[in-house]
Chain A
């Protein structure tokens, strides 16, 4: 049925016939000549042309001869094939059959080279350079130029990360068009004129775009380089592997390049259905964490209060002893870094080996009704019939709830922007203020104080085929997830849940939740348990309700949970970091599987080193439910054991074998299990959700009362893309492009508090306070303050407050 639907959606295409170098080809109306030539395998040299950017016709490299424009008359001059639309009956002659085209192309290359330095031996692009390649293929070999080349001081840092060598630039305007058209950050532009034309930026505004690394990749010469990769390697010394990004749930395909078993750089892979040819700077540059002193390569066990290196058998024995002593009073915290296969290993380990349903991947603030929502709307779903990136473009109207795409899933942001620019897409966001990202989407902002999202959502007119994107933050507003599901159901709009981390969607599928077994099976359902137990060849699965992460940590802190198995998490990622630390410290026994030292390993009794993401294969499911292959980039790891392999070893030693020890086996077993089809009907098996039928009255929020320079307001927050997350450690140039940490308030609230732009305000709540500079934000909803969730120095987990909590805002607070 879905296939049929797809076929129905494809609009009939008008095909026209053109002849290129004597070969007839049928192309859709509106096709550019350069694309038509590609279709029959003819590569016309080009620099400015890029299929995802608007044509500009600036470099003039792609000249072709057109003896017949389709009307019987030819063009008197050669034409730039990148701006020439095919017409029925058009005759096009490329460099293969036309002396005119060949001469024009040779001449253009000679022009481009007269001022281009011959520094290929020290240029990062040398070896993968379109100018170099096309000069060899289409140039004339020798230059007739005898003068002195134009030079500029070099390089110019257009941001902390992006460096510009102007004398190498061929002024193709790819970078400036990318920044303006694709990402909507026109911080760079062509300036000056004639032979002095160059890429420039405003003096006070560096090119701090979340997508700046893409301009390095699409630069057809070595004019743009990154601080991270500059002078690091020659392209021909690199070994490239296609893989999937581990940062967010976007599932971007990457090309990761390693040399000497070290990742040197990461490029956006080509995945038209997913990230097209782009990625974000975090995905591109944040990969050097765990390269430092804190990498764990040997097992550690705690002895006399301190960790010491141990052999694998010794560590396994110690872990087994501890877990056996817990006698089933154990829980598993997995975090968001795991592949689907590893997550499956933990899910099965909890149920089969530890005999518990206490497992939770949510190393973040989680909501009470979230699990039911995930069970009903996410788990067990597949790509077929799901909302996809491509669907976003054509949805007509996309509504964002608890979701800030530019920060939280940047490639969704780019795809929405494409839809807005090219397909008439309308975006509405239910958010506390109009962010830069919303402005770039030309979004309608329903300014909403945290907690009032349900009413705002119900007030929107959605139509069938529209899309509702719900972020993980929505779980923190009681009833919001249920309302989103209900609105989608009643309007026919399509719903998608966009988690933040790469492993989250897979963890739901693998059953890393207390109430869910693999494939979306309810752990509370006897038939489902029998089903899985049979597949796993065990007598039964635990029937008792498991605890969620917060519950486990609280139980551990109270001494009620004897053991914890922890995969990878940071206390500050939770609602209350102190509670996490207390839980870890008071749990009878903690086993950590980690790749680098952390707050968890500090508190663990046994630590097993595990491989980095680039060191083992696996799968990430992205928000579309699309599987993305994670491939082994580094075949020689300092810590070659995977989470799955360690779990299998522990299971064996505990006498309850896991049955799988490689990702391949795990994926095969999970696939074989399939997804849950409830014989009794899906709805009955799920807990009834409290659906509020009563219309919530929307009351215009008022400026909160300010007493003694203090106001009590609701906390709005999300994670900025580049922040204090540990996955970004070690990449200083990337960190320097982060957005500043600010406290956003409305002009009225600022006035009531008596603060001006940039003044310090204290945000206090829970167990402490932070002082942040104020950003007065027109259009910000009254009664709220926005601060970033996890920016360096101000992680909200330390305060113990989450989105929607009340916090106190006061003047000053500087230390």
Chain B
């Protein structure tokens, strides 16, 4: 395992006007399309399978295998849908990627679409990030103009259209079946499975849904080969990936490194926790992955490593919190997010998160009573694993892991407001007046 940065996806981010086709092509962009279109679709799929690329959206499902699930004998059109609805608190990798190098995704989409025999592909972009939507639209237009999209791409006889679709601002639409409903013009709520999207997805047709980063990794694999890709990373988590660091670190941002790097290494690369403070807790992959503490600094940041310590790699969004931070308050903020973003379809998520927020506010205000920690955990148990989709599982993961590591801090909520134990101004990176009372 190497401990250096391995910029591949981010290699061209620093070039002048990196988002233009001209700049992208100047750094070798769109070469992989030519290579892929000379291969058979099955060969492209096999190549991605061999590379060991796993989904970068959080679940880590092998990308090539997902492509191979598309039934060949289904008479309906096949669709590729790229999930760019990046909304998880702390996660910030797809948006910078699309802002800096949208053509990487366009090129990846052409190759992936070719591999699954798709002629209309969609990018579903989070609606709030208008600048990214515009940049993506521009890139798609440039690709059409250059003959990378449209009919008879590069004289290969292969046709592809890409539709850039803006979401309307709902976290749930990052859940792949809710995304499909939203893309079809319905209210975004998760669908019952089976049928799975590979069989009956968008417009009841075979559909592959991949994360931006997964598809963007494909051109590099085609260009450099599966062995090159597999040479990076750990045994079961191959390749490079983008880690995004935020919070109490000196130089937050995106760090592209092989899978299996540790937080200790990443902290070194990002200048460490802010001066005079020490790491208290962190998330490995956004707020829905159980939090970890300083004792996990040396655990490899790959699918297996994180699973081994009761968390998940998720989106590799590392939110770092130092000792000034109230874990109770942080948990409350996260759960408020999930309460707001619950789609309302199923009972435990809709009602449970609504209740958890009220309970956590009592903890924050020091108004919880003896036994409320157990009640909190019991409510989490009634939510977790019972909901229709994974949103609620993510919501309770931050609560249960916070109690696991910092139970006494929650118990302090039986008597003392969190803002007295952890004056909120101290954890801010800017001047704020001291909070003296509860605010909602």
Contacts and interface: CB of A to CB of B under 8 A. Distances in A.
Whether A associates with B in a native complex is yes
16 contacts: A59-B347, A60-B386, A83-B192, A103-B382, A107-B348, A107-B378, A108-B347, A108-B382, A114-B351, A114-B355, A115-B354, A193-B341, A194-B341, A194-B342, A195-B339, A195-B344
Interface string B362-395: 0000000000000100110111011110000000
B355 A145 contact: yes
Contact of B385 (A59, A77, A196): A77
Nearest to A198: B344
Interface string A77-119: 1100001000000000000000000011011101110110000
Contact of A111 (B172, B352, B358, B375): B352
A811 interface: no
Contacts of B352: 111
A192 interface: yes
B345 interface: yes
Given A103-B382, A190-B187, A194-B339, A58 B346 contact: yes
Contacts of A55: 192
A195 B386 contact: no
A110 B192 contact: no
Interface in B378-435: 378-379, 381-383, 385-388
Contact of A196 (B344, B381, B383, B387): B344
A171 B378 CA distance: 23
Contact of B355 (A147, A189, A190, A191): A147
B278 to A, nearest CB: 36
A87 to B, nearest CB: 12
A194 B343 contact: yes
Nearest to A172: B347
Interface centre among A57, A103, A191, A193 (most CB of B within 10 A): A193
Given A60-B347, A197-B350, 9 more contacts: A55-B192, A58-B347, A59-B346, A103-B381, A107-B382, A110-B382, A147-B355, A194-B340, A195-B344
Contacts of B172: 193
Contacts of B121: none
B170 interface: yes
Interface of B: 170, 172, 187, 192, 339-348, 350-355, 358, 375, 378-379, 381-383, 385-388
A462 interface: no
A192 B344 contact: yes
B351 A111 contact: yes
Interface of A: 55-61, 63, 76-78, 83, 103-104, 106-108, 110-112, 114-115, 144-145, 147, 150, 170-171, 189-197
Contacts of B383: 107
Contacts, number: 99
Given A55-B192, A57-B192, A77-B385, A111 B348 contact: yes
A108 to B, nearest CB: 6
Contacts of B375: 144
B388 A58 contact: yes
A111 B340 CA distance: 17
A144 B377 CA distance: 13
B354 A60 contact: no
Contacts of B344: 171, 190, 192-197
A795 to B, nearest CB: 43
A376 to B, nearest CB: 47
Contacts of B192: 55-57, 83
A112 B388 contact: no
Given A194-B343, A195-B339, A195-B344, A171 B350 contact: yes
Nearest to B358: A147
Given A60-B386, A171-B344, A194-B342, A112 B351 contact: yes
Contacts of B342: 193-195
Contact of B347 (A83, A112, A196): A112
A196 to B, nearest CB: 7
A196 B340 CA distance: 10
Contacts of A57: 192, 346, 388
A336 to B, nearest CB: 45
A57 B193 CA distance: 10
Contacts of A108: 347-348, 382, 386
Nearest to A145: B355
A194 B171 CA distance: 11
B71 to A, nearest CB: 20
Contacts of A192: 344
A618 B385 CA distance: 55
B262 to A, nearest CB: 28
A103 B379 CA distance: 11
B385 A78 contact: yes
B347 A61 contact: yes
Contacts of B345: 58, 171, 197
A56 B343 CA distance: 14
Nearest to A54: B192
A147 B345 CA distance: 22
Nearest first, the 9 A-B pairs at minimum CB distance are A107-B382, A197-B344, A77-B385, A111-B351, A194-B342, A195-B354, A147-B358, A193-B344, A194-B344
B386 A194 contact: no
Nearest to B384: A77
B348 A60 contact: yes
Nearest to A113: B351
B356 to A, nearest CB: 11
A111 B345 CA distance: 13
A177 to B, nearest CB: 12
Contacts of B385: 76-78
Nearest to A192: B344
B355 A111 contact: yes
Contact of B388 (A60, A103, A114, A150): A60
Nearest to B388: A57
A61 B351 CA distance: 13
A112 B348 CA distance: 8
Interface centre among A108, A189, A192 (most CB of B within 10 A): A108
A60 B387 contact: yes
A76 B386 CA distance: 11
Contacts of B382: 103-104, 106-108, 110-111
A58 B347 CA distance: 7
Contacts of A197: 343-345, 350
Contacts of A196: 344
B412 to A, nearest CB: 20
Nearest to B349: A194
Given A147-B355, A194-B344, A78 B386 contact: yes
A170 B347 CA distance: 8
A61 B355 CA distance: 18
A598 B386 CA distance: 61
Nearest to B369: A146
Contacts of A56: 192
A112 to B, nearest CB: 6
B386 A107 contact: yes
B237 to A, nearest CB: 22
A169 to B, nearest CB: 11
A170 B340 CA distance: 18
Contacts of A112: 347, 351
A115 B347 CA distance: 11
B184 to A, nearest CB: 15
B241 to A, nearest CB: 27
A497 B195 CA distance: 41
A106 B350 CA distance: 16
Contacts of A147: 355, 358
Contacts of B386: 60, 63, 77-78, 104, 107-108
B417 to A, nearest CB: 18
Interface centre among A57, A63, A111 (most CB of B within 10 A): A111
Nearest to A107: B382
Given A194-B341, A194-B343, A194-B350, A107 B381 contact: yes
Nearest to B393: A77
A78 B354 CA distance: 22
Contacts of B341: 193-194
B162 to A, nearest CB: 29
